[in-house]
Structures are given as structure tokens and as C-alpha cells.
């Protein structure tokens, strides 16, 4: 598929024109870091992100064709901007029944969801993993049956959620059964909204696994997480059955939460990415995924030969193919310790917690990255002592968190209220204010407005959270 790059072409032409830059930005195209000649603002011919009629409109049309959506919109402020816009649009189309709006959401949501709830003033009813699910802060597998049950229970209470919101893929690479969930949502007349920040590439696998293709009404993609795009580049995708289709309304929603000074460096990156995706990217992606599958298999065979208590590489049908998630318990250590070992071998991981390490590959990784990683892990496996015990199943921690969770005020009241930071061990009984989490993974243990419980304190301490914000 041939693909134009109108934004890139315009900016390069302008940079080479010798035109006097009597406009923003203040560097005037003079190089300090090297990118400045390509850094412009919304001058004549450059179009306008939130009211495009020229090169941006053409570039977004290219992205829309590539992703097979009703419309794909650009964001220069990451998926966070898209999440807020998506929820705003879902709210706009929800029935106005005089009750407080409620969103049904999986508990492993990024804190951007809480910020959106604070800004838009809606409540959240949480979907929790099953009581038997292996505990991990980043994971919250939800079955279609469980979703159906919660929707029916809410209906009996007279509650109609304005959307169902899930994170898929999650930070550990787990994916939800989007087709099954979409079927449930369609039957119940509620839109399925997906935080697909980690899954922009899913559209370009041999089998299209993108949420829009699988039935989601709307989703966000962080292009910069998995595609060759500058940090901050993202998409808001609408399906043909999305509750809002009016382009002006969608642009208005994005503008509501976006800067009036969008980065043209990021826009050029999104534009250039279209040409990459239309080229041999699917072939290179398939090669990358095959290489990672081979690495998982090799590592797990080596772990089995060393009689490790668990596979080293997390694998299975419910895992996305382009993350390599390592279970440090297989080596008898913590995820943070494993990450430090890899760092000493000149490899920087994406994320580490008390048990897992997440490594993110793309087709842009050179072959030596795979070799270096395999060599380092095989050396660690060779040193694993015999007879390591299986790790303790910590599902009970999350079951306790659910059982003890009590919402004391709205998310908006908590986030915008007077706050004080205190040590976690002194927070029992206080009300969580601003979500206190690191990024990554930016997934709150306690939600804004919830009472801090013994289970919440135990989990915070396990994940190294020492202080949090509470209401005064």
C-alpha cells in the first residue's frame, strides 16, 4: 500500500525554504538539540489539530485506512488525553436519567481513569478478578460470564453504566477476551471502551487482534509504546458503531483535554509511522513475534532442565506476543532483583515488581538484544539452586482488598479535596486522595475516595509505596 506523509513533507519543505520565522517557537529553528528546524507551530499551511482541513486531515485519513476504523484521531499527549476524551464522549451519549453516572471498569486501570473520573465527576463500579486468580497488581482477567453477572446485578439496582472499561493488554502482557466482552456489551446496549495503550501493533499481526476489529466501540492506543513513534504520540479510535460519530464532537472532546500547542514533532512522527505501517512492518512484526516465541520456549526449556519451580517466561493464549514477561520466582528472586541483574548486563527493563519483570521488544530491536538477554538469563538459570519452592499464591491479598474496599466519598471530592501526605503505616482508616502510584505501572492499590484498609496497606508496602495522599 502506497502511503503519503503530508505533515512530514510540509515541515521539511518549510525548514528548507529559508523563510524568516516570525512566529513561535522561540528557538526559531536554530539547533540546540538538533530537532529544532522541524519544530513548528500552526502556521499557514500546517493545518490545525483540532479543526483539520489539510495535511493533518489527510494524514489521519491514512491512519484510519490502516487501522480499519470509522475514524482514527491523533493525540500528541498520549493515551491519557484519549482516555479522557473517550469517557467524555461515552458520557455525552449516555441516557440522562437524573442519577450519578456510573462506569463499570476492571480494577487494574491506569490512574488516568481516576483523573478522568475526577474531572468528569462520575462513579466507578469495579470489576475484580476471581478470588482464585493469582495475585498481581497489573492483572485483572474478567470473563464474559462475570461481566454479564455484574451488569445484571447493576440492572436490578436500577444502575445503567454508561460504559464498560477494560485495560487490554495489561502491563504484564495479559489480554482480555475482547470479542466475548464486546458481545455481552452489545447485547446489553452498553459501549465497550478499551485502554489499548500497549497494543497499537495488534492491528498488524497476521490475525488482526486490535480491539476495534474485535468489537470495541472506542479505544485508545499509545502509538509510542509499541510503534516507531515519538513519546506522546497516540490514537483515539472509533468503531462504526461508536456512540458518537460526529467529527466536530470528537475533536471538541480531544481539545477539551489537550494543549492548544500540539507538538508538530509528534505529529510528524505519527505521519511518518503511517508509511512504515503501510510498508513491510507486518512482515517484520511477525518475525519479531516469532523470535520472542522462540526465546520464551528456549528459556522455559532451560528452566525445566534446571528443575525450576515455574516457567521463567510467562506464556499462553492470553498473553500478547510482543512482551516478554519474566517470572523471577522461577529463579528464586524478586522481579526487582532480576531487573538489577539485567541492568548490570546493560539491559534496561520496562517494569519490575516484587515478582515480575517486563521487557518490551519491537521490530526495531537489533538481533544482539535477543542474544544478550538470552545469554544473561541462561547464566542466571545455571546458578539456580536445586529444590526451589513454588512461590506463595497471593490471590488472597486481592480478595481481601475487594472485601474491605469502602468508598467514603466521590473520586472528584477526593482528588480535589484538601490533602496531606502521610506514611503508609499511619494511613489506616484515612481516605485516599490523589492516587499514589509510580509510573510504571500507575495502577492504584487504593482508589481515590476509598478508605485505607489493612489489605491496602499490606499491598502498598509489598509494592514499595511508602507514602500516600489522604484527605485532611
pLDDT (tens digit per residue) in 418-451: 999 999 999 999 999 998 776 678 888 999 999 9
Does 206 lie in the same domain as 312?
Answer: no
Q: What is the CATH number of the domain that holds 444?
A: 3.90.100.10
Residues 65-98 pLDDT 10s: 999 999 999 999 999 999 999 999 999 988 788 8
pLDDT at residue 75, rounded to an integer: 98
36 within some domain: no
12 within some domain: no
Does 227 lie in the same domain as 91?
Answer: yes
* Domain assignment of residue 310, given as a range: 282-382
343 within some domain: yes
24 within some domain: no
Strands ordered across the beta sheet of 163-167: 71-75, 234-238, 218-221, 192-195, 163-167, 102-106, 123-127
Q: What is the CATH number of the domain that holds 172?
A: 3.40.640.10
Residue 45 backbone class (left: φ over 0; alpha: ψ -120 to 50; beta: rest): left
Residues 90-135 pLDDT 10s: 999 887 888 899 999 999 999 999 999 999 999 999 999 877 676 6
Least confident of 47-61, 237-251, 387-401: 387-401
Q: Kindly indicate the confidence band of residue 463, based on its pLDDT and cuts at 50, 70 and 90.
A: confident
Does 71 lie in the same domain as 206?
Answer: yes
Residues 288-301 pLDDT 10s: 999 999 999 999 99
Residues 144-164 pLDDT 10s: 999 999 999 999 999 999 999
20 within some domain: no
Q: In this structure, what C-alpha cell is assigned to residue 332? A: 528464586
Does 218 lie in the same domain as 351?
Answer: no
Does 265 lie in the same domain as 334?
Answer: no
Q: Which of 254, 278, 302 is the last residue of a domain?
A: 278
Contact 193, 84 (CB under 8 A): no
190 within some domain: yes
Does 363 lie in the same domain as 407?
Answer: no
Does 94 lie in the same domain as 129?
Answer: yes
Q: Please state the rounded mean pLDDT for residues 278-285.
A: 98
Q: Which of 215, 248, 278 is the last residue of a domain?
A: 278
Instruction: Check pLDDT > 90 for residue 138.
Output: no
Contact 150, 104 (CB under 8 A): yes
Long-range Cβ pairs for the range 101-104 (8 Å, 24+): 101/162, 102/154, 102/159, 102/160, 102/161, 102/162, 103/161, 103/162, 103/163, 103/164, 103/165, 104/147, 104/150, 104/151, 104/154, 104/161, 104/163, 104/164, 104/165, 104/190
pLDDT at residue 437, rounded to an integer: 72
Does 238 lie in the same domain as 99?
Answer: yes
The percentage of residues in the chain with a pLDDT greater than 90, rounded to a whole number, is: 88
Q: How many domains does the chain have?
A: 3
Does 273 lie in the same domain as 134?
Answer: yes
Does 355 lie in the same domain as 301?
Answer: yes
Residues 378-395 pLDDT 10s: 999 999 988 898 888 777
Amino acid at each position: 500500500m502506497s502511503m503519503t506523509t503530508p505533515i512530514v513533507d510540509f515541515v521539511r519543505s518549510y525548514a528548507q525554504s529559508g523563510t524568516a520565522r516570525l512566529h513561535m517557537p522561540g528557538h526559531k529553528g536554530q539547533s540546540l538539540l538538533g530537532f529544532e528546524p522541524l519544530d513548528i507551530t500552526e502556521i499557514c499551511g500546517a493545518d490545525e489539530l483540532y479543526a483539520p482541513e489539510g495535511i493533518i486531515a489527510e494524514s489521519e485519513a491514512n491512519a484510519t485506512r490502516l487501522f480499519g476504523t470509522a475514524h482514527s484521531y491523533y493525540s500528541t499527549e498520549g493515551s491519557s488525553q484519549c482516555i479522557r476524551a473517550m469517557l467524555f464522549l461515552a458520557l455525552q451519549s449516555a441516557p440522562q436519567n437524573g442519577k450519578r453516572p456510573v462506569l463499570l471498569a476492571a480494577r487494574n486501570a491506569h490512574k488516568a481513569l481516576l483523573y478522568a473520573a475526577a474531572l468528569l465527576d462520575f462513579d466507578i463500579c469495579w470489576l475484580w478478578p476471581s478470588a482464585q486468580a493469582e495475585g498481581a497488581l497489573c492483572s485483572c482477567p474478567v470473563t464474559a460470564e462475570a461481566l454479564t453477572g455484574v451488569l445484571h446485578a447493576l440492572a436490578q439496582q436500577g444502575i445503567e453504566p454508561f460504559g464498560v472499561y477494560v485495560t487490554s493488554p495489561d502491563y504484564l502482557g495479559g489480554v482480555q477476551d475482547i470479542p466475548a466482552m464486546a458481545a455481552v456489551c452489545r447485547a446489553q446496549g452498553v459501549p465497550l471502551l478499551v485502554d489499548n495503550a500497549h497494543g497499537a501493533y495488534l492491528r498488524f499481526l497476521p490475525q488482526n487482534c486490535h480491539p476495534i476489529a474485535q468489537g470495541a466501540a472506542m479505544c485508545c492506543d499509545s502509538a509510542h509504546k509499541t510503534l516507531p513513534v515519538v513519546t506522546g504520540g497516540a490514537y483515539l479510535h472509533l468503531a462504526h458503531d461508536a456512540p458518537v460519530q460526529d467529527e466536530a464532537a470528537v475533536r471538541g472532546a480531544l481539545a477539551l483535554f489537550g494543549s492548544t500547542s500540539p507538538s508538530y514533532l509528534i505529529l510528524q512522527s505519527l505521519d511518518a509511522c503511517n508509511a512504515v505501517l503501510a510498508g513491510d512492518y507486518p512482515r517484520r512484526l511477525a518475525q519479531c513475534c516469532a523470535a520472542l516465541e522462540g526465546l520464551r520456549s528456549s528459556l522455559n526449556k532451560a528452566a525445566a532442565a534446571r528443575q525450576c519451580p515455574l516457567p521463567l517466561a510467562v506464556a499462553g493464549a492470553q498473553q500478547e506476543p510482543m512482551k516478554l514477561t519474566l517470572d523471577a520466582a522461577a529463579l528464586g528472586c524478586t522481579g526487582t532483583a532480576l531487573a538489577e541483574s539485567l541492568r548490570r548486563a546493560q539491559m534496561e527493563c520496562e517494569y519490575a515488581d516484587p515478582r515480575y519483570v517486563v521487557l518490551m521488544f519491537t521490530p526495531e530491536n537489533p538481533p544482539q538484544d535477543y542474544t544478550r538477554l538470552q545469554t544473561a538469563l541462561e547464566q542466571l538459570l545455571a546458578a539456580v539452586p536445586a529444590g526451589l519452592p513454588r512461590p506463595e499464591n497471593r490471590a488472597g491479598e486481592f480478595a481481601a482488598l475487594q472485601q474491605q474496599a469502602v468508598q467514603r466519598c466521590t473520586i472528584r471530592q477526593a482528588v480535589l479535596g484538601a490533602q496531606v501526605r502521610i506514611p503508609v503505616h499511619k494511613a489506616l482508616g484515612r481516605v485516599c486522595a490523589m492516587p499514589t502510584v509510580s509510573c510504571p505501572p500507575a495502577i492504584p492499590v487504593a482508589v481515590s475516595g476509598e478508605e485505607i484498609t489493612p489489605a491496602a496497606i499490606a499491598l502498598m508496602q509489598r509494592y514499595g509505596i511508602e507514602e500516600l495522599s489522604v484527605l485532611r
